Structure 1
Amino acid sequence: MNMQARFNYHQANPQAYQAMLQLEKFVNESGLDKKLVELIKIRASQINGCAFCLDMHTQDARKLGETEQRIYLLNAWREAAVYTDAERAVLALTEAVTQIAQNGVSDALYEQVRKHFDESQYVALIMAINTINSWNRLAITTGMSAPYNR
């Protein structure tokens, strides 16, 4: 596996990078809980195998006060009692949207999420999931690797 970046996508196409930053800005201003957004980012990055994003977002989650236990158990959230029902619904949605071609998003999952989030929040959740999936794909295809250093 290549451990060096293929190229700097920020420099190669600044407009694409700015478009991604606008998506990120939307998510940040959506009103979604910041810790919940980090859980989305970590879980999608686990599924996609993006070490760079995992490193970045576990650091960000810690800075927001997320516990080590909840970060470590995220990969097995279904068996861990440390997540709320709302978080569980969002994690299931994150997995379904990240792997959309496998099973889509069932009506049951949609209803599970809607018990906790209104239509506007549902769209914001989808945008958060789509945004991290796009960041993952940018990082992986351009060869970005961990560790992430601020």
Structure 2
Amino acid sequence: MTEQDRFFLDKSDPSSWRAVNAFSRKVGAAAEDAGIPASVVELVNVRVSQLNGCAFCLDLHVRKAEAAGVTAQQLAVLPAWRDTALFDAVERAALIIAETATLLPD
């Protein structure tokens, strides 16, 4: 895919882009208020980005996950998280919810 083929929501519909970002900030604040570690939030963000096939989001959230303490090994096996003992019960629960919500049928 070339740069010209990419869809940029921020350029095509700035008001929708602002709304999506505002929603994302609210969800992030709610997760923080609930005591959910940033590492778990970013694991979820990386997995959802993998499922959605969004290279921009993957790049962003992999970097944020690493900064939050997610290991390179966890990131490497994330698509097969069910088959490894690298994820604790909280991370597994978050990944189940994330995958279920992301893969809901149309």
TM-score interval, smaller chain: 0.7 to 0.9
Q: Which residue of 2 aligns with 1:100?
A: 104
Q: Distance in 2 between matches of 1:73 and 1:36?
A: 15
Cα distance, 1:7 vs structure 2: 5.2
Indicate yes or no: 2:56 matched with 1:52: yes
Number of aligned residue pairs: 101
Cα distance, 1:77 vs structure 2: 0.5
Q: Which residue of 1 aligns with 2:23?
A: 23
Among the aligned pairs, what percent are the same residue? 35
TM-score between the two structures when normalised by the length of structure 2: 0.84
TM-score between the two structures when normalised by the length of structure 1: 0.61
Query: Alpha carbon RMSD of aligned pairs, Å?
Result: 1.7
1:26-56 Cα distance to aligned partner (Å, 9 max, x none): 1221123211111111111111211221111
User: Of the two structures, which has the highest relative contact order with CA contacts closer than 8 Å and spacing of 6 or more?
Assistant: 1
- Would you say the 8 A contact 2:44–2:98 is kept in 1? yes
1:69-105 Cα distance to aligned partner (Å, 9 max, x none): 1111111101110111121111111111111118xxx
Change in Cα spacing, 1:7 to 1:98, as seen in structure 2 (3 Å) is closer
Change in Cα spacing, 1:68 to 1:7, as seen in structure 2 (3 Å) is closer
Q: Distance in 2 between matches of 1:44 and 1:9?
A: 18
Q: Any gaps of 5 or more consecutive residues in structure 2?
A: none
Q: Which residue of 2 aligns with 1:64?
A: 68
Q: Which residue of 1 aligns with 2:2?
A: 3
Structure with the larger helix share:
2
Cα distance, 1:11 vs structure 2: 3.0
Q: Distance in 2 between matches of 1:20 and 1:86?
A: 26
